[in-house]
Structure 1
Amino acid sequence: MDRLAAARPSFRAVWGERFFRRFLISRVISLTGDAIVPTALALSLNQQKHPAGWLGGMLAAALLPKVLFLSFGGVAADRLAKLPLMAVSSVVCGVAQLATAMLLTTSAGLWWALGCQVVFGVSTAVCYPATFGYLPHCVSPDHLPIANALLGAWSGAASLIGPALTAVLAALGSPSLALAADGASFLLGAVLLVGLPRGGPVGRGSRGLSGLREGWTELRRLPWLMRITVVDSLILMLVTAPFIVLGPALVERTSHDGWALLMLLFAAGELLGSLVAGRVPLRRPIFGASLGLLAMGLPPLLLAGGAGLGPLCAAQVFAGAGIGAYGVLVNTAVQQSTLPEHLSKIAAFSAVGSFAFLPLGYVLAPLLAMFVGSRPLLWVAAAWTVVSVGALVSGRPLRELRAAGPPHPTSTGRTAAGSARGN
């Protein structure tokens, strides 16, 4: 443990890497803009007195294309240079959001705005795997854990800043101004990418269906990641979805603004957990990350038991910290255990698998609550968290996966994945 701690670089050392610093600033700007969108869309549509169904339609129009095309985006990101893909995707996203902001000012533009969100969703399906696979190209191998921690921490920080920034922009002009700010953030993020390493493909990757088959094959070669993907998908459907859908009404009985506070505290915990995970050395990082998921069961458990706002606030901080650490540790392990020419594909396949059942959970939770009640479903959610963590740590490859040095982006030989799969 002492040797690992001594070898762990500082946040200052990682920030000192020029290419990573610019990449991080670009991501910070884009993530902050993304955090604006849900609140800005809701306020814009509500201001225009549009039915609530339009908000669901706008959010679905951005999410569904992303899920459908994410795997193809992973294939493209491994076959082509990643920097141009990220830059073009950011420009397309920026234009789509600026157009959405303009169109939402008129009722006649709603369907066109919906189309812009579809374009936005397709573009993000290319951006995410390219961004994930690009990180090892702009930071030295031993700095990967802290680089992931900084990116994960800002995801939590953006969740805190986004809604507040939306409220300020809405007060200064209109909610559509916040959407325009999101569009501008993508364009500025694209400008900051100019001059960074291209992140070119290491080998000649497969295209089309062959690339998809190759990505699936590579994912299956990491049994611990396959297990994580399956467990994540069921946690999102059976734990996260019921809590998000049923929680607001239950919390509002004790505190009118309590739900907003709980969401902010979750984001604060996510920020804290991400930063800690980047600095605390673990010999078995995925095993530790899996145990941290137990905190996800605390909020539904307390809510089902009728706990007050105070215990729920503490539980949300712990849950956010568990998720923040989990994301950093898993992302680092994937980057350390995968050949660069397959990294984006594997990230895309894992993301699609993880989120595949979340929309179903959003639909099923209120329907089941009509028959059995909200609290029994939350009891089940809490119990399922324990079952899920047990399923994760029961896998020997996952339990025995140890911290390892990452493969260099230009290496095509044997990597840390070899030793991981040998356990």
Structure 2
Amino acid sequence: MHSPSPMPHPNQVRSACQRCRGQKLRCVRLSAPTASSSSSSSSCARCSRLGLSCEPGPQRRIGRPARRDAALVKASGPGPSVDDMPFLDSLLDDAAPGGDWAVVFDTQFGLGGPETIPLEPWPRIQDMELPPVLEPSCQVVTPSIGHFEALSRLNVDIRKGLEHVERYKVQPTFSFFICATHDGMDGYKNAQMLMTHAQQFLGIVKALHRQLGTRITSTQANCPSPDPFKLALDPSVIGPGTPSSPGELSATHDTPTLLLVISCYVQLIKHIETALKIVYDSVSNPVEEYVVGAPMSYADVPVINVSTQFILFCELITHVIAQVNLVLGLPSPWSGRSAWTGLLRHQRYRNLLNAELGSVEGAWTTRPARLLEKTKKCKEIFVELSMLGLDS
């Protein structure tokens, strides 16, 4: 073991006095005390300002202190004396005038002057004006439990069909889509699910819209219908019709219900887009073999011709999606004359739908209108093939 040296190392000499050390404050003095210097040779700046005796205290000893002595000192430590009261009161004097705690005195690095921290004045939360989620006069209507549960189940079923059809994006051929089976589902069953889910979703959104009320319409007002794609870009081309009354825009469904509606609609649009792309690419490719028919029937009457099957499929998709767009509030040639004023007519839900589908031109997304145009082109191709005798 090393023998203790008579003179401690300069790093082992305490420079802080007992008062500053007890209050955990920085002790600043002109000259640091040494082991041989007396305790009254120099006082720190704080003790000199308060006129108190400055005691550097015992120097640091080499080795670990005894456990018993440390426990006794901790248990029976001296309380604050009378001389310590001015010292404690002086802590309030160290703050900047007016309670400006942004002014700090950096004496650690010897800057010697105050430094102001720039703080940006923020208003209180109570004074902040947040934009309302909906209009103040908007009445929130909660749908029935049956409609909400049916919408939730439909959202899950549509998701399953979308996940199945998205597996064929790598090899988008109709024969592979029809013949390949994943999780007990082939292309025919996927198309059946698509047509079923689209009609179920249309029935649910119509029922939800009836709870909010509809516009009074007349069947006598007939005006030419503009192009739906041009209508999506410029809704001002809608023909004259009965304007919406103020009461029609003052009611909407709650946010969870409309979020489910948006989720079902977005997944349904993506499902139809993928399925139509597979069919359209197959019939447009002259090298690939012609698509085969499915065991399809209409009103218990078998539909044998392949072109007739796909024409009926395109007509069903076009008619159902066009109605869904109208009920939800998307631009339609019937917008000014229909009883449906739109479930998503409020700006908040319109923005959510536009963010999910993208391709926003004007006030609404044009993706559903482009889907209807592609469905129409796909139908025209099958009409042309059947008339030219190339469908067999």
TM-score normalised per structure 1? 0.21
Instruction: Flag the structure with more relative contact order, 1 or 2, with Cα contacts below 8 A and sequence separation at least 6.
Output: 1
Q: Write 1 or 2 for the structure with the bigger share of helix.
A: 1
Q: Write 1 or 2 for the structure with the bigger share of strand.
A: 2
Q: Which has the larger radius of gyration?
A: 2
